Structure 1
Amino acid sequence: MIFISSAITNSSCNNFNFRGKNSQKILQCIRYCSKKQNHLFQKIDKFMNGLKGLYKQLETLYIERLAEGSVNKLKVINWILYGRNKFKMLRQKVLFLENNGEI
Structure 2
Amino acid sequence: MRSLSRLLIATIASLMCMSQAQAFDTTTQSLIKTGYATSQVTTGPFDNKLILAAQDDAAAFIATDGQLRGAQLESALIYLRQTSPKLHASDLELAQAILVQ
Report the TM-score when normalising by structure 2: 0.26
Report the TM-score when normalising by structure 1: 0.26
Greater RCO, 1 or 2 (C-alpha within 8 Å, sep 6+): 2
Q: Whose Rg is larger?
A: 1
